[in-house]
């Protein structure tokens, strides 16, 4: 659960930070958004810290 939390935290950190100042809108998390936000994690060849 901690590893999943780490990935989700990295994925949503911008949204979480900016949410209080944003108007009430729908936020779409799609494949491209995930790839952009997690590119550092995916580049890291040692993915074992994220996989059980």
pLDDT of the chain along its 52 residues, tens only?
Answer: 677 888 899 899 988 898 888 888 888 999 999 999 988 877 766 766 666 5
pLDDT at residue 48, as a whole number: 65
- From CA 39, how far away is CA 28, in angstroms rounded? 18
As for how many domains the chain has, the answer is 1
- Strand stretches in the chain, DSSP E: none
Contacts of 38 (CB under 8 A, 6+ apart): 7, 10, 11
- The per-residue pLDDT for 45 is 66
CA distances from residue 15 to 32, 36, 44, 46, 47 in whole angstroms, order as listed: 15, 13, 23, 27, 24
Please give the backbone phi and psi of residue 11, each rounded to the nearest 5 degrees, phi first: -65, -40
The domain of 42 spans 2-49
Whether pTM > 0.75 for this model: the answer is no
């Amino acid at each position: 659960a901690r590893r999943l939390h780490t990935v989700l935290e990295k994925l949503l950190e911008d949204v979480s930070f900016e949410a209080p100042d944003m108007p009430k809108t729908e936020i779409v998390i799609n494949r491209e958004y995930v790839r952009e936000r997690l590119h550092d994690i995916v580049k890291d060849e040692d993915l074992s810290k994220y996989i059980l």
